[in-house]
Structure 1
Amino acid sequence: MKENVVHNSSIKANNYIISSIHCIAALRVVMSTSAYPFGDKGYIFENGSREDGLLTREKFMEVNARMEARRDFLKTECSRLGLDTSSHKSNAWECNIFKAASTSWMYNFNLMANYSAAFLDKTKEVPLQLARRKYARPTAEMIKKAQGDSITFLIVRHPLERLASAYNDKIVHAWPKSFHDKLGHRIVKKYRKPADKTRTEKYPVFEEFVSYVLDEAKAKRSLDMHWTPYTTFCTPCKFNFDVILKFETLDEDQKFLIQLAHLQDIVKPEWKNSGKGTTATVHIISNLYARLNRRQLDGLYDLYKDDFRLFGYSIDSYYDMIDKEKVSSHG
């Protein structure tokens, strides 16, 4: 197996990337830490004297406990739902899932591959394609072998927030004449009702997009990687993760991961292409889901139910968006 070396660090980069990101809801990665064995001492903490973006020792231990709880929860739910049995085949180990900090971490991976920040900030090339020039696709056997001296991590996001993000990014703001632009025109043609023909939007409105997604799922056709459930795309119950980051706590979680992997001199917590947690983002999501009826929301829960269950997400607040008089029985 070819070994890439990060020249400005003592950390070996074999199989840094196992998974990149497509529409990211989940990002699965293995980072080699052979220079710093997992669990070894020597972590660097914020010392209060400079803005280094590091966690204090106390906060690091707090986040570490959070990660342990998430690992235990995932393991318990996988067993309860029967998703960890041999009857469930592992999906592709190269697992690229989008809309959950994928752009930010792909930027970091490319920094670790010795692309300069100046180059990455100005290039028009696709970050995933840049990474693929540096990192070979590992086989399942290679990943299992590397796991002993590597840190594995997964990034997840609320399934319906991820869906809204994919809709906004890939459908509303699709590049002209791109695959998703053409898909949008097909959705409008099929799902726009005669009474709505006077609508000015050239792209599908959210309820049209959701109808399309649910019909595709009902017909058992493969869903676009940007909104396919990540429990079927990544099969998280078939892999033991050291760190499970959540989009909702990503600022602290990624600082923890960077310190855990001793990468603070190479990468910095930095947001690329993110609308995380802003009032505007929450408002946009609320307006989108307010357009749906209960049947559509029930359908989305059924589609993403394992994503909800495995990572402790709830759909209840989304039922409040469509009608405050309605209460969901889904946890």
Structure 2
Amino acid sequence: MHHLSMLMKSCQQSDDFLFSSSPGVKLGSTPRQHVGNTCYLMQGVIVSPVALMVSALADPQSHEFIKQGVELPPVTPKSRKTFKTRAQALRTNSVAPSPAASSGSMEKWMKLARTLEARRELMRATCAKYKSHTSRTITREHVRMIYVEDQYKLLYCEVPKAGCSNWKRTLMVLAGLASDTRAISHDTVHYKNHLKKLDSFDYNGIMHRLQTYTKVVFAREPLERLVSAYRDKFENPNRHYHTVYGRPIIAKYRTHPSPESLSTGNGVTFTEFVQYLLDVHRPVGMDIHWTLVDNLCHPCLIDYNFIGKFENMQEESNFLLRLMKAPRNLTLPQFKDRNPKDQKTSSEITGKYFAQVSPWQRQRVYDFFYMDYQMFNYSKPFKDIH
């Protein structure tokens, strides 16, 4: 622990590590590459108990450190004993992440834990392959999408159109800001949630949480996420998106637009939306709903220890909640409160939308989201993609 405290102190003493509105806290680049970069690696020195338990479930035979009293935050005899008891119980099946778990359900949790560990290894390998020479620093901009729940020591990076509304509802209940996820409206969860963001803390507060909290991100098949965003923002009434994005998109990409469409921005077609996305000289900037997860959550810079998938969100989210010792009656809500009559965007629906654009455009959109496909191990969406 003395060595650990010295490492933390050395990270904090340099003037290079002071946060400001400009690039600040110099933590290095990608995982497992610049091994001399102590401050980046500090994210993994103090591992969250949830991350250790996922690792123990994934490979119970290799985790003798559980028996050896590894020091965990907060480092007290009581907390260490609590963690050892919980982790050992998971290994011996005497306690499971859910009540009265059978051997079959324990095997399910172990399989899921192995999947989560494999995702982390793939992320590290992908970052090493594609971003090993990228010099990066952590700034407030890098952590602006991350929500903080201090009681359960959780950092959640918001990815729009990947289940973020229901995860924010869950965070509100965990934080004591609401008692029932089903009673939280769309406007409340997005505009009045009163949840804390990581960029609101000072340097020490940010580093402490990056080092000790469970860091969570959920991804979604990139083109399905894109189509979901288009349907939500342009096929339904939405004054903000029709005005800010619809009007300039129609003005630039539509031949002979009507005065009404130029005035309202209503009726942007999917082809026009794709033209806008691929244009290096866009008439209006990008939006978080169709920005890459790589650029929202920076997984090559922030060492996420729980990488979930939207496609299996219920099971994976509830697994995490059980490991966190969240209230037993709290599960991730499933309802769709915005445009509930719309059919959920699926691979079939995504295919119908992309049938409207040329093969060249399909390839270009795939290329645009290439890093998300690689980082999160999604298959190529169409046969003609190379």
Give how far 1:131 is off: 3.1
- Shift in alpha-carbon separation, 1:265–1:288, aligned structure 2, 3 A: same
Aligned mates of 1:124, 1:270 — CA distance in 2: 13
Aligned mates of 2:327, 2:347 — CA distance in 1: 31
Q: Where does residue 324 of structure 1 map in the other structure?
A: none
Give how far 1:186 is off: 2.7
Report the TM-score when normalising by structure 1.
Answer: 0.72
1:163-195 superposed Cα distances (whole Å, 9 cap, x missing partner): 1111111122242x3244442133223222349
- Code of the aligned partner of 2:306: V
- Shift in alpha-carbon separation, 1:70–1:140, aligned structure 2, 3 A: farther
Q: Where does residue 129 of structure 2 map in the other structure?
A: 80
* Unmatched runs of 5 consecutive residues or more in structure 1: 1-29, 50-54, 321-326
* Unmatched runs of 5 consecutive residues or more in structure 2: 1-46, 51-73, 90-95, 146-157
Contact 1:93 1:140 survives alignment (8 Å): no
- 1:129 counterpart (191, 213, 226): 191
- Code of the aligned partner of 1:303: F
Aligned mates of 1:97, 1:305 — CA distance in 2: 17
1:120-169 superposed Cα distances (whole Å, 9 cap, x missing partner): 62646431433335667335642332244321111001111111111111
Residues 1-331 of structure 1: pairs in structure 2 closer than 5 A = 37=83, 40-41=87-88, 43-47=96-100, 56-82=105-131, 84-85=132-133, 87-90=135-138, 91-95=141-145, 96-117=158-179, 121=183, 123=185, 125-132=187-194, 137-139=200-202, 141-175=204-238, 177-194=239-256, 202-215=266-279, 217=280, 222-265=285-328, 267-273=330-336, 281-315=346-380, 317-318=381-382, 320=383, 327-329=384-386
Aligned mates of 1:151, 1:178 — CA distance in 2: 34
- Code of the aligned partner of 2:254: R
- Shift in alpha-carbon separation, 1:234–1:147, aligned structure 2, 3 A: closer
Give how far 1:291 is off: 0.4
Aligned mates of 1:140, 1:305 — CA distance in 2: 32
Query: Looking at CA atoms only, which structure, 1 or 2, has the larger radius of gyration?
Result: 2
Aligned mates of 1:307, 1:79 — CA distance in 2: 15
- Shift in alpha-carbon separation, 1:184–1:195, aligned structure 2, 3 A: closer
Aligned mates of 1:262, 1:125 — CA distance in 2: 28
Aligned mates of 1:313, 1:77 — CA distance in 2: 13
Give how far 1:58 is off: 1.5
1:244-301 superposed Cα distances (whole Å, 9 cap, x missing partner): 10111212211221112111436213213289xx787444322111101122112212
SS in 1 for 2:286: coil
Aligned mates of 1:116, 1:269 — CA distance in 2: 14
Q: CA RMSD for the aligned pairs?
A: 3.5
Aligned mates of 2:165, 2:186 — CA distance in 1: 14
Aligned mates of 2:244, 2:367 — CA distance in 1: 27
Aligned mates of 2:202, 2:310 — CA distance in 1: 28
Contact 2:162 2:218 survives alignment (8 Å): yes
Aligned mates of 1:249, 1:119 — CA distance in 2: 20
- Shift in alpha-carbon separation, 1:109–1:279, aligned structure 2, 3 A: closer
Aligned mates of 1:172, 1:189 — CA distance in 2: 18
SS in 2 for 1:88: coil
Identical counterparts, % of pairs:
23
Give how far 1:228 is off: 1.4
- Shift in alpha-carbon separation, 1:267–1:179, aligned structure 2, 3 A: same
Aligned mates of 1:196, 1:229 — CA distance in 2: 33
